[in-house]
A and B are shown apart, each in its own frame.
Chain A
Amino acid sequence: MAGKNGLEGKDSGLFVREATGLVREWSIFDAFVYAFFSVNLITLGLYIFSFAPYIPDGHLVTAIIVSTIFIVFLVIVYAMLISILPRAGGDYVLQTRILGGALSYVLPFTGWVFILWLWVPLYGNMLSWNVFTPLFTLLAGMTGNQGLLGVAFWFNGVHGLFVSALLVCVLASIVISLGMKGYARVQKFCFYLGMAGLLTVFILLLANDNATFVERFNAFSAGIGAGGNVYTDIIASSSEAGYDPIAWNNLALLASLPLIPMVVFFNLWPNWGATLYGEVRGASEFRRNFLGMFLGLVVTAVLAVILLALIARTIGWDFYLASNFAFYEGFSGFPVFPFPGLLAAMLTDNPILQLWVIVSLSGWFFGWMGTVFLSSTRVLFAASFDRMLPEWVSNLNPKTRSPYNALMLMTIPAIAVSFLFYYVPGFDVLTLNATVVIAICFLGTAVAAIVLPYRKPDLYNASPVARYKVLGLPAITICGIILAGFLLFNIVLWFMDPVYGVHDPYSAVFMLVLYSLAFVIYFTYLSRNKKLGIDVKKTFDEIPVE
């Protein structure tokens, strides 16, 4: 029954007996897939890259590389924290257990619950612009059917975008209700589908030159009612509007730094599902967690640079940037979002291959969108178990096991925020608030990591990461300081420069409402629990051993 290394398959130095919960190590590849989809190149990446013209002197490639280097420290910090406090369930538990106090509740609650309401219309945009609009535009181009073009335009307009956001709510709720077992399978299928789609795009871009693209793009545009040399017109009209795209070969290190607060919209999330654990393990658990997230981040960065290089080579760098600028400024000759998947699909005459490009790239969306409420429901449950939210929040349907109340708490406000986002002029500039609020939450966790070895020395010293030191200091403290510095750099720029949409009256009111709401809930439940004789502080206090 007992046997050395029985479950690890390598020298763990232990005699392990068969006991409940002792499992073999999980696959790094599976962890990679989750992290890889969290920093999603095709959805989040291409969406935020399209705003790059608003920092005209910055180069996307530089911003991606520099931000990736700093986000590696986020990966290290979270991998270490998971190793110290496995099964913690994310920032809420990490901060309440390590830091305590009102902020440790407010920051994760705002960052993982309230702000996800704003992510829903953003997911809606991506569903519409990455899937519906290109699909119907392509079908219209193939068939010349004006009705299909009308559908594409409808999805490009506010009603279509709002409906897309509603679909996101429905699909995400179904995923959570059905459970992660089924969704994990869907996600893996979508990974292979999406990668096959990206490979097809790479091949199409490699196999054709810029002259071919210009010819095909103009021909396709004519087919959907946009006549003339649309390609050249877009570049020219952008130039007339005062936009001068940065050259592809000008990597402009310093000028690209202000682009980082935009780029992190896409790559700040390799830790999104960082809740893995194992029993009777040690340092390998840290290494596996680290590798899963690290590879997800770095492989995505490499693919992003390759994709942008191929876009520059075949589609044309000036045109790529100018077409996005013209789209947002409302004077583009091309009537829908210039999704690079759609542009790549134009490089072939084969309608099946064209459809394959759009359908396969949709795997990037469907493999990723289910997680929009997943972390939120976990935080709601954790707060409910801590008696810091009503008990009914964590109710499950006894038959379907669906967390219906937690889902209602996410979907109803998300629909309201989506309505504001699409129908109230000026509200759509809040896109980056979705990143800011989570980054502020991560800052709280970075502080927790910095102080952990000093605030909870027993917990830290009993962990397998206690041996990692830098200049005699705990590595988690050093990495936490670097991460905090990086997050502060972004936060300062977001709040100082109006280009990000955060330095804006709507943004100020929106954030004030979110943070105030979190504080009100915290103090309401603190006071309620006090009246009922529940000492919330005792929930997290360590029981003396002697």
Chain B
Amino acid sequence: MTKIFFATDIHGSEKCWKKFINAGMFYGASTLVLGGDMTGKAIVPIIKEKAGLHRAYFLEQEHELKTGQDLEHLTQAVRDRGYYPVHLDIEEMGALEKDKSKQEELFKKETLETVGNWIEWAEERLKKTRIPCYVCPGNDDTFEIDELINQSEYIELVEGKVVQLPLDYQMISTGWSNPTPWNTYRECSEEELESKIRESIDKLDQVKPAVFSIHPPPYGLGLDEAPELDENLRPKYAGRALIPVGSTAVRKLIEEYQPRLALFGHIHEAKGMIRCKNTLCINPGSNYEQGVLMGALINLEKDRVGEYQLTTG
């Protein structure tokens, strides 16, 4: 038996990243798999007003930071929540507010710096634990992230690859998703998505058991229920009208190929598991803003997928 730990959608939360790297030792897992979307969604400007006084607006509250300790605490709180703290003076802030391209540049810079730091932090630990760690960026991640991960000695970028897991299991992965209303980096049509996943499936040894790690969940199996939105991206009926938003291509391929295990993410609120024909499908969900690492711990056995549990670390 071998135990794998899967988590996804940590969206810039430093706390969740560190928990993910430590999860191997904590849960006794022999393999770590991250399902995508490492990138944060917001920048929090920390503005230096004068010597010894910084001001920041975080969680819709104004924070007056008078000591180095205050500054350090807030910076870490911002990072743990998945946002990027950026230190600016008043003039820089003014310039940034006016210039969208500067904002984009800043996002890219912060994203890459953060992922770079994360990899450095993780390598120190993984060097000691020797637990294999597989990462596949998701639809919200810029492509430059792939290059950073590729440079790592201990973290393997697995987009489009077939990875050999213990007990002869083999895993394919993709972070591409069906279209979303946000027009993110790795989106494509259902047809293109099917073709991308098929390319990976074609590389599988048909005799060996398979694990699919695919960012978007299959359509209509309950792992893809998200609030219905109006044309202004406002949740209808206060978010209670849930609709399936998963990928029809993913559903088709799961039903057709029937891997033993399929791991998904993307829809944070659709935590759950379900059997689809011979496949155990899991979406562990995400609570990255609270610094809570949602995950799935799965025992792979030679002839079957054994016991599993959804964790709230």
The verdict on A87 contacting chain B, using a C-beta distance below 8 Å, is: yes
The verdict on B139 contacting chain A, using a C-beta distance below 8 Å, is: yes
Q: Which residues of A contact B227 (CB under 8 A)?
A: 23, 26
Min Cβ gap A188→B in Å is 7
Contact (Cβ within 8 A) A18 B184: yes
Contact (Cβ within 8 A) B41 A279: yes
Contact (Cβ within 8 A) B239 A85: no
The verdict on A523 contacting chain B, using a C-beta distance below 8 Å, is: no
Q: Which residues of B contact A15 (CB under 8 A)?
A: 42-43, 45, 96, 103, 106-107
In the complex with contacts A18-B182, A20-B37, A394-B274 CB distance below 8 A: yes
Contact (Cβ within 8 A) A14 B43: yes
Q: Which of A27, A185, A279 contacts B238 (CB 8 A)?
A: A27
Contact (Cβ within 8 A) A19 B39: yes
Q: Which of A188, A381, A545 contacts B19 (CB 8 A)?
A: A545
Q: Which residues of B contact A1 (CB under 8 A)?
A: 100, 104
Contact (Cβ within 8 A) A459 B182: no
The verdict on B240 contacting chain A, using a C-beta distance below 8 Å, is: yes
A26, B242: Cα distance in complex, Å: 13
Q: Which of A97, A284, A394, A459 contacts B273 (CB 8 A)?
A: A394
Q: Which residues of A contact B59 (CB under 8 A)?
A: 281-283, 463-464
Q: Which residues of B contact A330 (CB under 8 A)?
A: none
Q: Which residues of A contact B260 (CB under 8 A)?
A: none
Q: Which residues of B contact A25 (CB under 8 A)?
A: 234
A22, B40: Cα distance in complex, Å: 12
Contact (Cβ within 8 A) A87 B285: yes
Min Cβ gap A442→B in Å is 21
Q: Which residues of A contact B116 (CB under 8 A)?
A: none
A180, B226: Cα distance in complex, Å: 11
The verdict on B129 contacting chain A, using a C-beta distance below 8 Å, is: no
The verdict on A237 contacting chain B, using a C-beta distance below 8 Å, is: no
Contact (Cβ within 8 A) B238 A26: yes
Min Cβ gap A80→B in Å is 13
Best-buried of A20, A462, A464, A545 by chain B (most CB within 10 Å) = A20
- Minimal Cβ-Cβ distance residue in A for B138: A20
Contact (Cβ within 8 A) B240 A184: yes
- Minimal Cβ-Cβ distance residue in B for A17: B107
The verdict on A240 contacting chain B, using a C-beta distance below 8 Å, is: no
B10-49 interface mask toward A, CB cutoff 8 Å, 1 = contact, 0 = none?
0100010011001100110000000001010111110000
A500, B310: Cα distance in complex, Å: 42
Min Cβ gap A69→B in Å is 25
| 9-residue interface stretch from B165-173, B205-213, B288-296 | B288-296
Min Cβ gap B69→A in Å is 14
Contact (Cβ within 8 A) A283 B241: no
In the complex with contacts A381-B272, A458-B291, A546-B18, A398-B60 CB distance below 8 A: no
A403, B221: Cα distance in complex, Å: 11
Contact (Cβ within 8 A) A181 B241: yes
| 9-residue interface stretch from B75-83, B145-153, B194-202 | B75-83
Q: Which of A2, A283, A398 contacts B221 (CB 8 A)?
A: A398
A193, B271: Cα distance in complex, Å: 35
Contact (Cβ within 8 A) A19 B274: no
Q: Which residues of B contact A284 (CB under 8 A)?
A: 60
Q: Which residues of A contact B237 (CB under 8 A)?
A: 30, 34, 180, 184-185, 187-188
Contact (Cβ within 8 A) A87 B240: no
List residues 275-314 of chain A with CB under 8 A from any CB of chain B. Answer: 276-277, 279-284, 292
Contact (Cβ within 8 A) A97 B312: yes
Contact (Cβ within 8 A) B140 A20: yes
In the complex with contacts A398-B276, A539-B309, A19-B140 CB distance below 8 A: yes
Contact (Cβ within 8 A) B268 A21: yes
- Minimal Cβ-Cβ distance residue in A for B43: A15
Q: Which residues of B contact A4 (CB under 8 A)?
A: 97, 103
Best-buried of B140, B180, B237 by chain A (most CB within 10 Å) = B237
Q: Which residues of A contact B275 (CB under 8 A)?
A: 391, 395
The verdict on A385 contacting chain B, using a C-beta distance below 8 Å, is: yes
Contact (Cβ within 8 A) A462 B42: no
Contact (Cβ within 8 A) B42 A17: yes
Q: Which of A2, A23, A179 contacts B233 (CB 8 A)?
A: A23
List residues 290-313 of chain B with CB under 8 A from any CB of chain A. Answer: 290-293, 299, 307-313
The verdict on A425 contacting chain B, using a C-beta distance below 8 Å, is: no
- Minimal Cβ-Cβ distance residue in B for A14: B42
In the complex with contacts A17-B107, A458-B291, A276-B221 CB distance below 8 A: no
Contact (Cβ within 8 A) A26 B235: yes
Contact (Cβ within 8 A) B182 A396: no
- Minimal Cβ-Cβ distance residue in B for A536: B309
Contact (Cβ within 8 A) B222 A396: yes
Contact (Cβ within 8 A) B240 A273: yes
Q: Which residues of B contact A542 (CB under 8 A)?
A: 19, 292, 313
Contact (Cβ within 8 A) A181 B183: no
Interface size on A, residues (CB 8 A): 80
A274, B307: Cα distance in complex, Å: 32
Interface residues on B, range: 35 or more
- Minimal Cβ-Cβ distance residue in B for A541: B313
Q: Which residues of B contact A283 (CB under 8 A)?
A: 59-61
Q: Which of A30, A180, A385 contacts B310 (CB 8 A)?
A: A385
The verdict on B115 contacting chain A, using a C-beta distance below 8 Å, is: no
In the complex with contacts A4-B97, A282-B59, A542-B313, A401-B238 CB distance below 8 A: no
Min Cβ gap A520→B in Å is 21
The verdict on A24 contacting chain B, using a C-beta distance below 8 Å, is: yes
The verdict on A540 contacting chain B, using a C-beta distance below 8 Å, is: yes
The verdict on A503 contacting chain B, using a C-beta distance below 8 Å, is: no
The verdict on B163 contacting chain A, using a C-beta distance below 8 Å, is: no
Min Cβ gap A373→B in Å is 15
Q: Which residues of A contact B229 (CB under 8 A)?
A: 23
Q: Which of A23, A280, A381 contacts B42 (CB 8 A)?
A: A280
Contact (Cβ within 8 A) A24 B233: yes
The verdict on B58 contacting chain A, using a C-beta distance below 8 Å, is: yes
Q: Which residues of A contact B233 (CB under 8 A)?
A: 7, 22-24
A500, B104: Cα distance in complex, Å: 64
Best-buried of B22, B221, B232, B313 by chain A (most CB within 10 Å) = B313
The verdict on B132 contacting chain A, using a C-beta distance below 8 Å, is: no
Contact (Cβ within 8 A) B293 A20: no
Q: Which of B60, B220, B235 contacts A281 (CB 8 A)?
A: B60
Contact (Cβ within 8 A) A20 B241: no
Contact (Cβ within 8 A) A22 B182: yes
A294, B273: Cα distance in complex, Å: 35
Q: Which residues of B contact A401 (CB under 8 A)?
A: 220-222, 244
Contact (Cβ within 8 A) B238 A534: no
Q: Which of B81, B184, B274 contacts A396 (CB 8 A)?
A: B274
Contact (Cβ within 8 A) A543 B290: no
The verdict on A533 contacting chain B, using a C-beta distance below 8 Å, is: yes
In the complex with contacts A396-B222, A459-B290, A276-B41 CB distance below 8 A: no
- Minimal Cβ-Cβ distance residue in B for A382: B271
The verdict on A13 contacting chain B, using a C-beta distance below 8 Å, is: yes
Min Cβ gap B22→A in Å is 5
Binding site for A on B (CB under 8 A): 11, 15, 18-19, 22-23, 26-27, 37, 39, 41-45, 56-62, 77, 80-81, 83, 96-97, 100, 103-104, 106-107, 139-140, 177, 180, 182-184, 220-222, 226-229, 232-244, 266, 268-269, 271-276, 285, 287, 289-293, 299, 307-313
Further pairs besides A1-B104, A543-B26: 17, Cβ < 8 Å: A2-B43, A2-B103, A13-B57, A15-B107, A17-B107, A27-B238, A87-B287, A282-B58, A282-B61, A385-B271, A395-B275, A462-B77, A534-B307, A543-B23, A545-B15, A545-B19, A545-B22
12 contacts between A and B (CB under 8 A): A13-B57, A19-B41, A20-B139, A21-B226, A22-B41, A24-B234, A25-B234, A86-B290, A181-B243, A184-B237, A283-B60, A459-B290
